[in-house]
Amino acid sequence: MKMKVAVVLGTRPEIIKMASIIRQLGKRQVDYFILHTGQHYSYYLAQVFFDQLKLPPAKYNVATGSSSHARQTAKMLIGVEEILQKESPDIVLIEGDTNSVLAAALAATKLFIKVGHVEAGLRSYDRRMPEEINRILVDHCSDYLFAPTHMAKTILLSEGIPENKVFVTGNTIVDAVYQHVEIARQQGNFLGTLGIKPKEYFLVTLHRQETVDDPVVFASVLRGLDEVAAKFCLPVIYSIHPRSRRRMNQFNLKPRDIKLIPPVDFLTFLELESKARLVLTDSGGVQEETCILGVPCVTIRNNTERPETVEVGSNIVAGTSPDRIIECVTIMLGRRTDWQNPFGDGRAGERIVSIITEVSNG
């Protein structure tokens, strides 16, 4: 039976994590199309990743843009539904926990189209995070749940999801990192343009709502980062998301010893990440990437939906107080970096496409 697949994505991490699946669909000559919701809409948060990863352009772009959660999700839901009605795919593939993922899952389910959720089963157990709500809802309306680890599968089964819907595939971020890290390391001298040397700087990413939308929390974290720079006498490079910069300006926060740089493309970020002495982040994807790259990570949050990184010793959850951030950086700098990567062998995309093609062929 001929199968048609819709790949729905909307943010930088989704483009990166769906890249190996898109390549496998093309390699196997599966009929597919890409639908971009436009949740990330600037060139440096969207199109540059299609260009660098040499992916075909999106056939559709809903051009949602930035708004409140309700407005953004509603606009996506309407746009995605219209396209799915027009195209009538057999399965919609989505990845992660964004509003794009929730909108696509709801639109497809209401149209009785099968949903495949890549990176299913992640939980922070913090309902204040909008991503947590999205993950739970999407998992419970999906037909195929591609769990990155056995721990994620256990979580899904504990929530009553039938075992025949759950497939442990590994995480497609491993595919992306393995395929591109050497290119990133050799592509140029971005470190030189910043005046830094390998393993002689800390890298920072902070963008989550619970981190940057609260002026007290954001100020506390920035104070902690200033103290890290002073205590360890190493540059702290913060690749700052536009939303985070807006909040910094809105709250009149002026970090003293942090070097702010604009968002960078995937290969440049991989170069920065792979050569950092340590990374401080509130990003789930960065926790995974650093684990794969053998770079210590300090998570600037009170929880993580990537507990595997903590278990293998690549990551520690610091919270947001300056003293605890300093303490955790000290701990991670003293650790060995020969932990085992728990996220798979870099063939997750291949497995996922094999599963959906086998199911369609009956």
**CATH code where residue 323 lies:** 3.40.50.2000
Claim to verify: residue 134 and residue 14 sit in the same structural domain: yes
Instruction: Give the C-alpha separation, 129 to 169, whole Å.
Output: 26
B/e letters for 41-72, b = 16+ CB within 10 Å, e = fewer, are beeebbbbbbebbebeebebbbebeeeeeeeb
Q: What pTM, to 2 d.p., does this model score?
A: 0.91
Residue 118 shares a structural domain with residue 247: no
Axis-axis angle for helices 172-186, 284-293 (nearest 10): 60
Would residue 48 count as lying in a domain? yes
Q: Quick one: 237 and 292 in the same domain?
A: yes
- Tell me whether residue 339 is in a domain: no
CA angle (338 as vertex; 332, 340 as ends), nearest 5: 105
pLDDT tens-digit readout, 314-328:
999 999 999 999 999
Q: What is the pLDDT along the chain (362 residues), one digit of tens a residue?
A: 689 999 999 988 899 999 999 999 999 999 999 999 987 555 445 577 788 888 999 999 987 767 788 898 999 999 999 999 999 999 999 999 999 999 999 999 999 999 999 999 999 999 988 899 999 999 999 999 999 999 999 999 999 999 999 999 999 999 999 988 887 877 768 999 999 999 999 999 999 989 999 999 999 999 999 999 999 999 999 999 888 999 999 999 999 999 999 988 888 999 999 999 999 999 999 999 999 999 999 999 999 999 999 999 999 999 999 999 999 999 999 999 999 999 999 999 999 999 999 986 65
Say yes or no: 152 and 196 in one domain: no
The verdict on 167 and 203 lying in the same domain is no
Task: Check whether residue 147 and residue 289 sit in a common domain.
Answer: no
Asked whether residue 303 falls in the same domain as residue 263, the answer is yes
Question: Which residues are within 8 A (CB) of 11 and not within 5 positions of it... i.e. 6 or more apart?
Answer: 39, 40, 45, 46, 96, 98, 100
Q: Tell me whether residue 56 is in a domain.
A: yes
Q: Is 40 a catalytic residue?
A: no
**In this structure, which amino acid lies at residue 197?**
K
The whole domain housing 125 covers 4-171+344-360
Number of domains in the chain: 2
Inside any domain, residue 113? yes
135 shares its domain with 250: no
Do 197 and 301 belong together in one domain? yes
Judge whether 239 lies within some domain: yes
Residue 61 resides in a domain: yes
The answer to whether residues 202 and 160 belong to one domain is no
- Please give the Cα distance from 50 to 44 (Å, whole number): 10
Asked if 43 and 184 sit in the same domain, the reply is: no
Asked if 127 and 200 sit in the same domain, the reply is no
- Residue of 40, 117, 180, 207 with catalytic role: 207
Q: Is residue 338 part of a domain?
A: no
**Per-residue pLDDT tens for 248-259?**
999 999 999 999
